[in-house]
A and B are shown apart, each in its own frame.
Chain A
Amino acid sequence: MKLFWMELKKIFTWPVILLVVILNLLLYILLIEFELEYFPNGRPAKDVFQVEMEMIDRYGEVIDEDEFADFIGTYDERVKDANEFLQTDELAIKAGVDSYEEFRNTDIDDMAAEEMHSHIMFELEEDLFWELQARESIIERYESRVTGLEFLIRYQSNSKQEKERIREMLQNRKFQYYSELVLRNFENYSSQVVVIILLSIAIVLSPIYIRDKVRDIVPLQYTSKKGRGIFHLKWRAGLTSIGILLAIHLLIYGGLYLTNDTAHYFFMHVYSMSNNPVWYDITFGEFILLTIVAIIMLGYVFGILTIACSALVGNYLTQISTQILLFCAFAFVMIPVGVQRIIETMYLPWVVPTIYISLILFVCLTDRFVKKRELVKDI
């Protein structure tokens, strides 16, 4: 056990920790900050988010006809407020606009009206009008919820299973009531986090075996009493450090995600807030858990490949190069397919599970190959 701790300490040396911290800071600014600070991004999006929070509290996930009528009622009230606002606003009076209906149909060529329009929307940033816009988009989505899915069946779905799934959604009235704002934000956020996690793992674990090889102490280790058991010991220390890295990253970035205040959405089904149909009827909270599981699996797969690579190659040049190629493969294939669109019907239902299973099989085979090779190798 003592040796195990020593090995662990050898993995997390101060310079390495420093590099990982710098990497995290830089990539936080480059990739993550935007998803946190600018969520929801832009004007109608912000208002859509506000209105939807209110809706979830009042109506829950499914909006039936009565609730929708209630929603329309609120909308009408707001329109009345808008009318009152317009009737007292100077510029609006000047432009001869005294109702929201006219305000919406502002003629771009009409200078006075256009000036009033941009004044109210962009200079005053009058929330009321943005809110109305947000409510309109929600109403529109509600009214086209059936035709939307029918449209998907006819024009966009490319496989039989996908068509069946959408038909089933239609039958069981699994409609999209909410905008995909929150879901997209989470998907982008999580895939950026994976990028950071993979790079951190690569930086920390690449030297694990090479360090000793470069220092020529492997023969010493293998002729000691512990012998080649050290190889397994290091392997276990590597696995532990992958776990440590994953835990720390997931805790920090998970905590940061909570600042987006999307807890309202956690108990709603993913299909009720996604433009693209999904295979499974899971809630957003479950989707988050699924993503975390996927991240952990990817982290371990990538980490074990890194360790195996470190055991196989002889110098840092080869190690870093293979890491770069491996990372590119993960970034271009695994992150979009295996994290971002993990349950979307874009891919056939067996594609994503197969990818994960084959990855795990591959890792197991590599694991055995590397360990066997090490046991019979000449010193």
Chain B
Amino acid sequence: MKRMRITLLELQKILRSPVIVLMLLVFVGFNLFTILSNAYMKDELKILNQIVQEYGLSFNDESLKELKRAIEQGVSSIDHQAETINDFFNQLTFENYTNYSLDDQKTIDNLSLRYLYYNQASALEERYEELDIEVIGDGVIEKFNISGIAEELILNDYEKLAMRFDEIVEEQEYKTWFFAGNPYRMHSQLFRELMSIIAIEGVILVVLISAFIACYERDNRTSFVTYSTKTGRRLMLKKWYASLLGTLIVCGFLFIVTLAIYFTTFDYSGLWESFVSSGINWEYKFPYVTWYDFTFIEYLGMAILIITTTLLLISTLTFGVSVFIQNSYMATVFCYLLLVAMFVIPSLFTFSSLLLLLGQFNPTLLILNPHMYFNGLAGLAGSQYHEIITLTVWMVISMFLLTISLKRFMRKDLV
């Protein structure tokens, strides 16, 4: 505990500054606004929780038949003349609809949503059969004009992905219920929108915090005192721990509050164990074909883990830069620009396909695309170990940078 004391005291320096608290509140407010602007569909989404409760999380021909029968019964209880479900919904104009009593209208809404899920689920088998992973791979190569080693790497990936895809089809992993990807796009809403917003907010705060802690003594003219104490310049190491701890606290706060709001707004009960590679979760051109059979809750955990790790890594990187520059302002602005550069520069590598491919392995792109984690069909960033490689490589780079700048700092003249 005594050894931790300095670290904790360093941490206090940021947590006590009101502006960090203010920014956290503003960011949470913004996230709340983003969530609520999509909240209008939360009642419609609840139908799926009912379906899952009644028919189980995964579906097969049997349970689909049952579902269809139930819908047919429901339809005939409202309109005795309707022979098939299709007939009923086809003749249902707006005027017809308003003629029903309010109770009936609710049932009709319910039935039509169930029918939507039924239709999507029963069409899946065919849609999956039409997908040819290797053709998609060729498409990627053609689109980005890739040749040489990069082409081989990508082809190799897609070959492996094709095997994984067959596994998904064989084990019927794609036949689990999830919010219909097509109208609702809940996967994108949570991971692409919300998670990447959290990540950006995290980056803004983490860079600020790390640079501030690293340059605190210099900025406050206390460096002569602190660096000549018994702890001396080893204080820098403690400061680094403090900035990592600060990163965890900030990120934890953002994640916990935002996700708590999100999951109280949208009801995911019963869906935690559903697979992300579910075919119902098919949003755009391709379904999500994850490399591993992640359930939703596992995927969420992985996404949080990856973003947190990346933020820790960015914190370390910033800390290294700040120790080197010893001016918190320059260091902060420089790190922001560096992160923007990582987003911009890979798109300029159109002249070399290997560079284009390597450019994908960078932390900024990693935290901006949480919806594509472990997804084989993520364009150039689809290789099996993409996330792990990116994190490891940048972990090494940032630790290396930190070591160099700390070493330099340890030997530097104080005045």
- Chain A residues with CB under 8 Å of chain B are 15, 19, 22-23, 26-27, 29-30, 203, 206-207, 210, 214-216, 315-322, 324-325
Are B208 and A317 in contact (CB-based, < 8 A)?
A: yes
Interface string of B204-238 (1 = CB under 8 A from A): 10001101100100011100000000000000000
Q: Please, which residues of chain B bring their CB within 8 A of the CB of A315? A: 212, 219-220, 328
Are A321 and B329 in contact (CB-based, < 8 A)?
A: no
Residue B22 interfacial (CB < 8 Å): yes
Distance in angstroms from B8 CB to nearest chain A CB is: 19
Q: Given contacts A315-B219, A322-B19, are A19 and B328 in contact (CB under 8 A)?
A: no
Taking each of B22, B212, B329, which has the highest tally of chain A beta carbons within 10 Å of its own beta carbon? B329
Partner among A15, A30, A203, A216 whose Cβ is within 8 Å of the Cβ of B221? A216
Distance in angstroms from A302 CB to nearest chain B CB is: 17
Q: Given contacts A29-B348, A216-B221, A325-B26, are A19 and B20 in contact (CB under 8 A)?
A: no
Interface string of B147-165 (1 = CB under 8 A from A): 0000000000000000000
Looking across the interface, which residue of chain B has its beta carbon closest to that of A19? B333
Distance in angstroms from B243 CB to nearest chain A CB is: 12
CA A15 to CA B330, docked complex, whole Å: 8
Residue B249 interfacial (CB < 8 Å): no
Are A30 and B219 in contact (CB-based, < 8 A)?
A: no
Distance in angstroms from A294 CB to nearest chain B CB is: 26
Looking across the interface, which residue of chain B has its beta carbon closest to that of A211? B329
Between A and B, 19 residue pairs with Cβ closer than 8 Å are: A23-B337, A26-B341, A29-B347, A30-B340, A30-B343, A30-B344, A207-B329, A216-B221, A315-B220, A316-B212, A316-B219, A317-B14, A317-B20, A318-B19, A320-B329, A320-B333, A321-B19, A324-B23, A325-B22
Partner among A19, A27, A316, A321 whose Cβ is within 8 Å of the Cβ of B23? A321
Residue B266 interfacial (CB < 8 Å): no
Q: Given contacts A15-B330, A19-B334, A317-B17, are A214 and B219 in contact (CB under 8 A)?
A: yes
The secondary-structure label for the interface of chain A is helix
Residue B281 interfacial (CB < 8 Å): no
Interface string of B303-322 (1 = CB under 8 A from A): 00000000000000000000
Additional A-B contact list (13), CB under 8 Å, known A19-B337, A317-B328, A320-B208: A19-B330, A22-B337, A26-B344, A29-B344, A29-B347, A216-B221, A315-B220, A315-B328, A316-B212, A316-B332, A318-B17, A320-B333, A321-B22
Distance in angstroms from A316 CB to nearest chain B CB is: 4
CA A15 to CA B220, docked complex, whole Å: 21
Partner among A215, A316, A321 whose Cβ is within 8 Å of the Cβ of B20? A321
- Chain B residues with CB under 8 Å of chain A are 14, 17, 19-20, 22-23, 26, 204, 208-209, 211-212, 215, 219-221, 328-330, 332-334, 337, 340-341, 343-344, 347-348
CA A318 to CA B13, docked complex, whole Å: 12
Distance in angstroms from A308 CB to nearest chain B CB is: 16
Are A320 and B341 in contact (CB-based, < 8 A)?
A: no
Taking each of A214, A316, A324, which has the highest tally of chain B beta carbons within 10 Å of its own beta carbon? A316
Q: Please, which residues of chain A bring their CB within 8 A of the CB of B334? A: 19
Q: Please, which residues of chain A bring their CB within 8 A of the CB of B332? A: 316, 320
Are B212 and A317 in contact (CB-based, < 8 A)?
A: yes
CA A22 to CA B211, docked complex, whole Å: 20
CA A170 to CA B323, docked complex, whole Å: 66
Q: Please, which residues of chain B bring their CB within 8 A of the CB of A318? A: 17, 19
Q: Please, which residues of chain A bring their CB within 8 A of the CB of B212? A: 315-317
Q: Please, which residues of chain A bring their CB within 8 A of the CB of B19? A: 317-318, 321-322
How many cross-chain pairs have Cβ atoms below 8 Å apart between A and B? 65
Looking across the interface, which residue of chain B has its beta carbon closest to that of A31? B344
Q: Please, which residues of chain A bring their CB within 8 A of the CB of B215? A: 316
Looking across the interface, which residue of chain B has its beta carbon closest to that of A216? B221
Q: Please, which residues of chain A bring their CB within 8 A of the CB of B343? A: 30
Q: Please, which residues of chain A bring their CB within 8 A of the CB of B211? A: 316
CA A38 to CA B398, docked complex, whole Å: 38
Distance in angstroms from B153 CB to nearest chain A CB is: 26
Distance in angstroms from A325 CB to nearest chain B CB is: 6
CA A23 to CA B348, docked complex, whole Å: 16
Distance in angstroms from B22 CB to nearest chain A CB is: 7
Q: Please, which residues of chain B bring their CB within 8 A of the CB of A325? A: 22-23, 26
Are B337 and A26 in contact (CB-based, < 8 A)?
A: yes
Looking across the interface, which residue of chain B has its beta carbon closest to that of A29? B344
Q: Please, which residues of chain A bring their CB within 8 A of the CB of B221? A: 214-216
Q: Please, which residues of chain A bring their CB within 8 A of the CB of B340? A: 26-27, 30
Q: Please, which residues of chain A bring their CB within 8 A of the CB of B14? A: 317
Rank and list the top 8 A-B pairs by shortest CB-CB distance, nearest first.
A317-B212, A321-B19, A316-B329, A318-B19, A316-B328, A29-B344, A26-B344, A26-B340
CA A321 to CA B17, docked complex, whole Å: 11
Q: Please, which residues of chain A bring their CB within 8 A of the CB of B347? A: 29
CA A136 to CA B17, docked complex, whole Å: 62
CA A322 to CA B344, docked complex, whole Å: 26
CA A325 to CA B26, docked complex, whole Å: 8
Are B337 and A206 in contact (CB-based, < 8 A)?
A: no
CA A316 to CA B330, docked complex, whole Å: 10
Are A324 and B204 in contact (CB-based, < 8 A)?
A: yes
CA A26 to CA B338, docked complex, whole Å: 10
Q: Please, which residues of chain B bring their CB within 8 A of the CB of A15? A: 330
Q: Please, which residues of chain A bring their CB within 8 A of the CB of B333? A: 19, 203, 320
CA A19 to CA B340, docked complex, whole Å: 13
CA A318 to CA B19, docked complex, whole Å: 6
Distance in angstroms from B214 CB to nearest chain A CB is: 11
Partner among B209, B219, B329, B341 whose Cβ is within 8 Å of the Cβ of A206? B329
Distance in angstroms from B205 CB to nearest chain A CB is: 9
Distance in angstroms from A219 CB to nearest chain B CB is: 13
Distance in angstroms from B251 CB to nearest chain A CB is: 17
CA A52 to CA B212, docked complex, whole Å: 56
Distance in angstroms from B335 CB to nearest chain A CB is: 11
CA A183 to CA B343, docked complex, whole Å: 29
CA A173 to CA B267, docked complex, whole Å: 55
Looking across the interface, which residue of chain B has its beta carbon closest to that of A315? B219
Distance in angstroms from A198 CB to nearest chain B CB is: 14
CA A215 to CA B372, docked complex, whole Å: 47
CA A320 to CA B19, docked complex, whole Å: 10
Looking across the interface, which residue of chain A has its beta carbon closest to that of B329? A316
Distance in angstroms from A364 CB to nearest chain B CB is: 25
CA A324 to CA B332, docked complex, whole Å: 12
Q: Please, which residues of chain A bring their CB within 8 A of the CB of B26? A: 325
Q: Please, which residues of chain B bring their CB within 8 A of the CB of A22? A: 337, 341
CA A317 to CA B330, docked complex, whole Å: 12
CA A319 to CA B23, docked complex, whole Å: 12
CA A207 to CA B330, docked complex, whole Å: 10
CA A23 to CA B341, docked complex, whole Å: 9
CA A78 to CA B117, docked complex, whole Å: 50
Looking across the interface, which residue of chain B has its beta carbon closest to that of A28? B344
Taking each of A203, A318, A321, which has the highest tally of chain B beta carbons within 10 Å of its own beta carbon? A321
Q: Please, which residues of chain A bring their CB within 8 A of the CB of B344? A: 26, 29-30
CA A15 to CA B333, docked complex, whole Å: 11
Distance in angstroms from B211 CB to nearest chain A CB is: 8
CA A26 to CA B26, docked complex, whole Å: 27
